A and B are shown apart, each in its own frame.
Chain A
Amino acid sequence: MALYGMVIDLNKCNHCESCITACKVENNLQIVSKESAEMGRVMQWMRLATASYEGNYPDVRPVTMPALCLQCDDPPCTKVCPVRATYRRDEDGIVAQIYPQCIGCRYCMGNCPYNVKVFNWYKEAQPIEYEKCYNIDVAVRVKGVVEKCTFCIHRLQKAKENAAAEHRKVTEEDYIPACAQVCPAHAISVGDLDDPNSNVSRLKSDYRKFTLQEELGTQPKVFYLSAKSK
């Protein structure tokens, strides 16, 4: 049994947003119009959240951090789903979404303390260039369903199958989500939290570690490292 988690080193992160772009392309996320974006309907599984502002006027800088589904070990969203369209996978701890099952009641969005779930408000026309390079491993969502980061579960699936074919275990090199793969600063690492020798387990024991809203008891599996506290 594996328990996949992520560590994001905010001291390494340079806010280049390549993880956001990679995620969007990898997971066939819908590109929304400017009007929709202004209404707060941006479709991003990974986004740069403004946590606070530092400095005094006029030298004010937003303090941002990459925010994604924290893959809670005790997720509030799955508890309220009326049709089990979102659930925690026992074999790897990933909180998955079943798009053809979702009825679009958005109850899970309301109960997510981290606001990481997004909804397909419209099915908007996508640029032809974008449609041409859709990732065939990920379903294109219809309108009216909720979606969120799945830790690139399709990549894990492939890695598992390859490893099984070669009669070995999944190694850290086999499974890397898109955001971690493209990060130029190597700020994002993903791996098995149950394995004490894994990279994430090592990083997790760093004194700079914190998680978001730990007090809620959702036990997030995405950890942040920062010299300053959040």
Chain B
Amino acid sequence: MNNSQILDEDEVLFKPIYYSGKGFYILGAALLAVLLFGVAMYLRQLVYGLGETGMNQPVTWGFYIISFVFFIGISHAGTLISAILRLSKAEWRRPITRMAEVITGIVLVIGGIHPIIDLGRPDRIMHIFERGRLQSPLLWDLTSITAYFTASTIYLYLPLIPDIALLRDRGGRFHKLYKILAWGYAGTEKQKHVLEKAISILMVMVIPIAISVHTVISWIFSMTLQPGWHSTIFGPYFVVGAIFSGIAALMIVMIVFRKAYHFEDYLKEIHFNYLGTLLLVMSLLWFYFTFAEYLTTFYGHEPVEMRVFLYKFVGGYAPYFWLMVVCNFIIPLIFLTNKKMKTISGLLIASIAVTIGMWLERLIVVVPSLANPRLPFPTGIYIPTLTEISLFAAAAAAFVLGFMAFSKLFPLISIWEIKEGREESVRLVSERLNQYLPSKGHIKKIV
């Protein structure tokens, strides 16, 4: 197999960068319209005040904080999964890591904007830097999200360099941009060595940062006195939920782009099969945490906690709560344990269910606790307005648009890693296997 043939084989990965179908432009325009509508609604909110939302006293946090937690949660898909797979030398990671990292990058920006949207005085945002109190969990959050964003964009960029070099060598569109971004990468032994070393340092660093991000987000809630929030389990509970929703989002993205860009040859059933198993594990873990959290509350039976508990289980939020249980536990369980249903479309259904379910989980964490404060006068009700809904839609549109834009600039599947896999994986894996297995002489003796 010579070089030109290999290039030809991976041509399908380059194709989306150079050719866009009609559907791409239509979808792009539609999403842009949604995004612009959201921006317009935000400007309206900026002019008139936060009264444009459905928030009130005592439900002082609503859709914006829910979206914030949800999108930051999805960001765990990426870097964390890709880092863990790389670290564990899982060979099947090769076509997945790039998409996972892109999700993180885009979603962190979207999620990170949400607290600013939620501010009553966004013009005073600099106060956080000028006179921030490090004792406030909001500051921890700012710190860890910034750290995570920095680490994960670098972690996205580094494995991208060889691919940018490939694009640069091809010439054509954005040639100058690629030339700058490729940093003169030519694939020499030394460059390769440095790159791999940098990636392996980063992938170890990124894991604790990623875990800290969602732990700290949960601490925003659990550091308060609110019933239903003040819980020690929240840190790990949120991290599990984040990885859970992250895997689901990753699968949706993979399935959609596999179909749209004809990546069938790269993203095979086996990838989805493995990720599906991972999703099932996270679903069970999520259920375990949820069960532990609510059982403790129920047996403690404190009146203030029970008001929130009953509000979720049988009260106003019961439909959302039970829908969440169905989406996060029952549907994944049905689709992922049954071999016949664990097809790609089955996985798509399960992933969409999990994404909806995890959004509902954030809703169920944020609103019922605020609506049932310790001193029950007044209790609250929360109905989101068009502003909040359109901003959520805009955030979702921005996510898809971001992905579409990325796919027009860079390959969505790491080409050099695929090539490397083709050239070296078999040798590396068999070498590794030989290390695991007992030596041949030993086997001979037993036989």
Chain A contact residues, CB within 8 Å of chain B: 36, 39-42, 49-51, 67, 76, 79-84, 101-107, 109-111, 113-115, 117-123, 142-146, 212-213, 216
Contact = CB atoms under 8 A, between A and B. Distances in A.
11 contacts: A76-B224, A80-B137, A80-B223, A104-B120, A105-B115, A109-B58, A110-B61, A113-B225, A115-B377, A121-B56, A143-B51
Given A79-B136, A111-B226, A145-B120, A36 B373 contact: no
B428 interface: no
A103 B60 contact: no
Contacts of A114: 374-375
Contact of A40 (B49, B119, B131, B380): B380
Given A80-B224, A111-B226, A105 B118 contact: yes
A9 B131 CA distance: 40
A83 B120 contact: no
A113 B122 CA distance: 26
B120 A81 contact: no
Given A40-B378, A104-B120, A122-B51, A109 B131 contact: no
A103 B121 contact: yes
B429 interface: no
Given A40-B378, A106-B60, A213-B375, 10 more contacts: A101-B131, A103-B121, A104-B124, A105-B120, A107-B138, A109-B57, A111-B226, A113-B373, A117-B57, A144-B121
Contacts of B58: 40, 109, 115
B388 to A, nearest CB: 13
A83 B133 contact: yes
Identify the interface centre among A41, A42, A110, A115: most chain B CB within 10 Å of its CB: A110
Contacts of B115: 105
B49 A41 contact: no
Contact of B128 (A79, A80, A103, A109): A103
A144 B117 CA distance: 12
Contacts of A118: 57
A84 B375 contact: no
Nearest to B136: A82
Contacts of B133: 81-84
A84 B223 CA distance: 17
Contacts of B224: 76, 80, 110-111
B253 interface: no
B377 A109 contact: no
Interface in B134-155: 135-139
Contacts of B442: none
Nearest to B142: A82
B56 A103 contact: no
Nearest to B140: A82
B119 A104 contact: yes
Contacts of B349: none
Contact of A113 (B56, B59, B136, B375): B375
Contacts of A216: 225, 374
B381 interface: yes
Contact of B127 (A83, A107, A123, A212): A83
A119 B119 CA distance: 11
A80 B115 CA distance: 15
A123 B374 CA distance: 29
B373 A115 contact: yes
Given A41-B51, A80-B137, A105-B120, A115 B57 contact: yes
A40 B57 contact: yes
B377 A104 contact: no
B418 interface: no
Given A82-B138, A115-B373, A119-B50, A103 B124 contact: yes
A109 B127 CA distance: 19
Contacts of B61: 106, 110
A101 B127 CA distance: 7
A163 B54 CA distance: 47
Contact of A36 (B51, B120, B124, B127): B51
Contacts of A122: 48-49, 51
A39 B56 contact: yes
A83 B135 CA distance: 10
Identify the interface centre among A82, A104, A121: most chain B CB within 10 Å of its CB: A82
